[in-house]
Homo-oligomer: A and B are copies of this chain.
Amino acid sequence: MKKMMKISILAICMFTLLTSAVNAKPSSAVNAKPLHHTQKGWIVPQRFLPVPSAASEALQEILSKLHQPDIRRAISQTPKDKAEWSEMVESQKGMMTEYIKMYAKEMSVKVEKDRIGTVKIYRVTPINIAPEHSKHLFIYIHGGAYIFGSGDAGLPEAIMIASRIGIPVISVDYRTAPKDPFPAAVEDMTALYKALLKSHPASSIAIGGSSSGGGLALASIHRFKSLGLDLPAAIYAGTPWSDLTKRGDSYFINEGIDHKLITYDGFLEAAAKLYANGTDLKDPLLSPIYGNFDRFPPTYLVTGTRDLFLSNTIRVHRKLRESGVEADLNVYEGFSHVEYLVAKNSPEAHEIYKELGEFLKKHLSDSDVSLSF
């Protein structure tokens, strides 16, 4: 048995035949700068990360103009308490209003503020609705770490989806922390969805968003399932915040590489706790990765090689596939978190919404009869 194991290990080493260094002792140069840690693992040395030459020129141009992500500064700028968070939220109110008006016009989309029951929403309607989506509805959930993105600040991607896919969108202006922590957001989603089911069959509804919006979409499905509701026909999970704890390989690999999020430490960690407000971060309604994905609707997922949430995305993909759910994973070269909202006119961003549109067309139905489980 021991011999078999020895030979087996040899065989493994032989197979890729590039393994001479696998069991090598760390060099003294690397050992010279030990980091403090208690977990098992490795030190990854400093390296130069070039602008990704295999990405589109549009993305390369954007990335080549950015300064190096500064991990320490990102951490140091995290608000220290609820008052500082509230102050930051207040200071940003209304900053997007003028831009959203112009952007909606540029994208030929009509934006109307409304309310369904107690839940604030925006109706984001393309001037030219695609014939195949005339009876469909996309429930859009904005990002912003459950703290930011309220009001019209949450509309840029809702406008993109409405415009590029030609589908009517309801963008949910759900309640956010620190004023209204968990479970307010999930409650808003549930109340809204129940109300919409009265006028729309579940089979005609898609749900989704990016970052915490993608996470909230997945958490909402967990909630809808537990309530026995008919489920939407498709999910869009754009680099979803599926695990609010610092669990996931890419939290470590892509620290200082993702130019949008930079690091989990500081901002994300604090936002997670602020939103959770004492509830265990591993509650599936907070970190949907810890839930059961059986019977989930078909899901379209997007992430990138530099995304701090790469693991958040691929772990959801695996969970869905293990539950036998159709799940379509797409990883973009050189993309940091929600890069498609930064490089929004890049070929990659166009590709994402084109494919998402095809995915919705495939899975949404005009039928009045919902698929019920």
Spell out A's residues near B (CB within 8 Å). Answer: 4, 7-8, 10-12, 14-27, 29-30, 33, 35, 37, 39-55, 63-64, 66-74, 77, 92, 95-96, 98-100, 102-103, 143-145, 147-149, 153, 156-157, 211, 243, 247-250, 252-257, 259-262, 267-268, 305-306, 310-311, 314-315, 317-318, 321-322, 329-334, 337-338, 341-342, 344, 351, 355
Contact = CB atoms under 8 A, between A and B. Distances in A.
A330 B317 contact: yes
Contact of A351 (B10, B66, B322): B322
A301 to B, nearest CB: 10
A27 B74 CA distance: 11
A71 B27 CA distance: 9
A92 B152 CA distance: 65
A20 B84 CA distance: 15
A96 B16 contact: no
Contacts of A37: 48, 50
Contact of A256 (B47, B306, B355): B47
Given A35-B47, A67-B23, A95 B252 contact: no
A103 to B, nearest CB: 7
A49 B54 contact: no
A50 B40 contact: yes
A165 to B, nearest CB: 17
Given A16-B341, A95-B14, A253-B306, A43 B50 contact: no
Nearest to A52: B249
Given A25-B70, A52-B249, 15 more contacts: A7-B98, A11-B100, A12-B341, A16-B211, A16-B260, A18-B74, A18-B260, A18-B268, A20-B74, A23-B67, A29-B72, A39-B51, A305-B310, A318-B332, A322-B351
A18 B262 contact: yes
A46 B46 contact: yes
B70 A24 contact: yes
B351 A102 contact: no
